[in-house]
Amino acid sequence: NGLFLALILFGGVIIPAASLPGPLSVIAPWLPSGALAEALTQVVVSGHSPGLGSILVLAAWLVGGTTVAARTFRWS
């Protein structure tokens, strides 16, 4: 839960990515919560489909997370 809260806080969901300090504003769009927030903002506010960048970031997190989970998860 702590990781989820950190992703929401620093991913541009609660605090806009533009107002985050230096390195965090650069990292925020590459986090899954930042990419999802950007994609949803584009859809809801402008009515356009989300940009390819957001979709690629989310797809990379999907593939990476699935790969890590498949390699490290063990039934006890």
Collect all residues with Cβ–Cβ distance below 8 Å to 8 and sequence separation of at least 6: 14, 33
How many Cβ atoms are within 10 Å of 2's Cβ, its own excluded?
A: 6
Segment 31-68, tens digit of pLDDT: 999 899 889 888 999 888 998 999 999 999 999 999 99
What secondary structure letter does DSSP report for 75?
A: -
pTM for this prediction: 0.81
- pLDDT tens string 17-34: 888 888 888 888 899 998
17 neighbors 25 (Cβ within 8 angstroms): yes
